[in-house]
Structures are given as C-alpha cells and as structure tokens.
Amino acid sequence: MTALGLLYGTAPGRLLLRGLTRPWFSRLGGRVMDSRLSALAVPGFIRRHHIDMDGCVKDRFSSFNDFFTRALVPAARPVDPGPDALVSPCDGRLSLWPIRPDGRFPVKGTAYTLAGLLRDEALAAQFAGGTLWLFRLCPEDYHRYIWPADGVPGPAVRIPGLYHTVQPQEKGQRPVYHENTREYRLLDTAFGALLIMEVGAMLVGRIENLPVTGPVVRGQEKGYFAFGGSTVILITKKDAVLPDGPFAAADGEELFVRQGQRVGTVTATK
C-alpha cells in the first residue's frame, strides 16, 4: 500500500490526515519550499522527473518554489490560433465529465454537484447539462496557467477549505473538490459564460492569481500554483463547446495536454 493509501485507507492514517489537510500544514510546507536551503533539492527533482528545462526563462533558482513556479518563454507553449478554439489553460491530465440536468457529475467514483462545488445554487443552475473539463497537475508539471479564451472576467470568488491530495486513487475516498480550497471567476466570452476554477491540494498553500482590469485574451497568463499537485477546472454551458478529437471519446480517461493546446471547438454564440 502506498503512503497515500495508508493515509486515506486506514483509521490511523485518517486520524493523521486531519492535521495534514489543514491550511497551516500547507503554509508550513510553503515556507520550507521558499527557503534558500530548499534550492538544493532542485537538481535531483529535475533528474528524477526528467523535466525539460529548454525554454525556461532562467536556469538558477533561489528556492524550490522559485523553480516550481518558473516561467517559460512564450514559444515553449504556443497557443492555438483558431478563432473557434478553446485551449488548455495548463499542462496536465485532462478528463471530461458531463454535467447532468440536475447538476450532478461523477469523478472517479465520487458523486459531486455543481452547487456543492461552487457553493452557489443559482450559478450552478446556469451550467446544468454542460461539461466539466478537469485538468489535474502533478508536481513535475509546469504550474503556470493561462486564460483559455478571450473575454471579460468577473470578480474572483474564493472558497476556503482543506488541502487533500488530488491523486486519482484518493479522489474516490473523499469528495476532495467539494472540500479543498478553491478560487473561481466567470469569464464572459463570445460563446457565453465560462467558469474557470483553481483548486489547491496538499502542500499547495498558494493559488497565485494575477490582478486583471478589463478584458483578457486567450493565452494571457492568469496565475500559478506554489508547490504540489493541483487542479484547474473549466465549466462550459450546454452545447457551447464540443471536445475535440480524442477528448470527445475519452469517457473519463485522463489524457495529457499542454498549455495552449486546442481541446475543444466553440459551437455556440451568445
């Protein structure tokens, strides 16, 4: 049994988990990863995970988090130019989940509701029958993310919570996306409202969204996660965007995508 399996699958592990998922634990981990001493772990992490450093803006880092939140040159993550494209906001593993008319959707054996995810029944009702695009990032992934479409963003809404892991084998144990700290904005686009949400995870003490004033453009940097696995969620309205190519037939399977890659085709306008 893995360490995460022991935490989530045994009584002593679940007792320990009560402390590990609290915000203070992730904040403590963040302070360690911000320390100059943590930079010593960077070369080994790069080798162990075979991370391609080509295109990185810099090659020396003051801390592990400085490396983890590294920026790439724009050419390293080109953005699909198609006018009808919805693009991936990040590197990660994409799975798609249809939202039932009653607002329910299952993820890896766990039942969720949009109302529970958003803590807003009226807003959830707007997306009933739509699609939830779930991008799961692992620690070795590039952890900056972009706006996936042109539009005018609404105010940020932050929902405080815990910091469970988002590893797939543990998601069936608890409704982590209902419990974890998360932040979302509505984006008013040419094809209607699009919701974009960032979800924190164990040891992700910071969701760092950049301030915006006025419209944003597809490919514009939106923010980044500090150390740990994490998730970006897009929610589109019914029939507004259709998944492209292999994503249309994935049926909940996770497929790796790159930031800026086309993942859907806009099929509706306001």
* 170, part of any domain: yes
Higher pLDDT, 28 or 264: 264
Average pLDDT on 99-110 reads 83
Which entry of 88, 91, 95, 141 is annotated as an active-site residue?
91
pLDDT of residue 6: 32
Is residue 65 very low, low, confident or very high in pLDDT (cuts 50, 70, 90)?
Answer: confident
Domain-embedded: residue 73: no
Q: How many domains does the chain have?
A: 1
Domain presence at residue 146: yes
Average pLDDT of the chain to the nearest whole number: 82
Residue 169 lies in a domain: yes
Q: Which of 34-38, 139-143, 251-255, 262-266 has the highest mean pLDDT?
A: 262-266
Domain extent at residue 216 = 79-266
Residue 168 counted as domain residue: yes
pLDDT at 204 over 90: no
Q: Is residue 238 part of a domain?
A: yes
Cα separation values, 4 from 23, 120, 167, Å: 18, 31, 9
| Statement: residue 4 has pLDDT above 60 | no
Question: How high is the pLDDT of residue 172?
Answer: 46
Does residue 252 or residue 3 have the better pLDDT?
Answer: 252
Select which of 26, 63, 88, 230 is catalytic: 230
The 10s digit of each residue's pLDDT in 127-158 is 999 999 999 998 889 999 999 999 999 999 99
Residue 269, amino acid: T
pLDDT value of position 179: 72
Question: What separation, in Å, do the N-terminal and C-terminal C-alpha atoms of the chain show?
Answer: 50
Residue 23 inside a domain? The answer is: no
pLDDT of residue 151: 97
More confidently predicted of 268 and 21: 268
- Is 230 catalytic? The answer is yes
44-53 mean pLDDT: 91
Out of 113-127, 159-173, 220-234, pick the least confident: 159-173
pLDDT more than 70, % of the chain: 79
Query: Within a domain: residue 131?
Result: yes
Cα–chain center distance at 74: 20
Average pLDDT (73-93) is 95
Contacts of 232 (CB under 8 A, 6+ apart): 89, 90, 92, 135, 137, 145, 196, 197, 198, 199
